[in-house]
Amino acid sequence: MNARVCCSLIAVLLCLSVCLSTTDAKKHVRGKRNARLSPAKPGVCPDDKDMIGACVEKCFGDRECPDDQKCCSNGCGHQCMPPYTEKPGVCPKMNLKDCAQLCSQDGQCPGDQKCCSNKCGHRCVPPYKEKPGVCPKMNPKDCAQSCSLDDDCLNDQKCCSSGCGRQCMSPYKEKPGVCPVSFAGVKGRCAEELCVSDFDCPGNEKCCSSFCGGRMCTPAT
């Protein structure tokens, strides 16, 4: 009798266990479906191409994530991440051998720093800043392409365009003084480019434009 009662109780407990498991599974599936069907938050998930995250489903939809975070792929599973944000500026050129993936998008970097590639990994670095100074006038027929940014050039040289190519040049520097009126607005040889900058001229002479478009060296006033 006791054995029969025990068997009956065990059978009842097993049935309850199966029912509860089935109910939990249904709730879990329903929760996943509702999360995936819920409206997505604004923004775009960062590219998971270079990510190697945990293969765990930590979220199923944006509504499960705090604030403006979205439920994004980490390369294997899903987790809450800030949406992709691109900050203004251009990444500098880097040739480091450090292959660490320290960021995946600009939004993960402090201040104005950007998430930049060093040809092996990604890290937060300040954006590229153009060197001070002005490019000199160049020969428009020079189509050599030896640089793309000021960072490609040594010291204070800038990457200057000729309208056809780009090459490193020392920035234009102006000598003190003022071009005389006779060259700036009245007299002068037309259509002759006898200089490009003040430093093409000897002593204290400056490279001055004539009224009709030429440029030549003349003493400053």
Task: Tell whether the model's pLDDT for residue 140 goes beyond 70.
Answer: yes
Strand partners, 199: none
Among residues of the chain, what percentage have pLDDT more than 70? 75
pLDDT for 97: 72
Q: How far is CA 46 from CA 74, 79, 105, in A?
A: 9, 12, 6
Sorted by where each starts, the structural domains of the chain and their CATH numbers stand as: 41-85 (4.10.75.10), 88-129 (4.10.75.10), 132-172 (4.10.75.10), 174-220 (4.10.75.10)
Residue 17's pLDDT band (cuts 50, 70, 90): low
pLDDT for 184: 47
Residue 37's pLDDT band (cuts 50, 70, 90): low
- What residues contact 33, with CB distance under 8 A and at least 6 apart? none
pLDDT digits (tens, 9 = 90+) for 71-126: 999 888 999 988 887 888 888 877 667 788 888 788 888 999 999 888 788 889 88
pTM beyond 0.75:
no
Q: What is the DSSP string of 147-207?
A: -SSGGGSSTT-EEEE-SS-EEEEPPB-PPSS---HIIIII---TT-B--SSGGGSSTTEEE
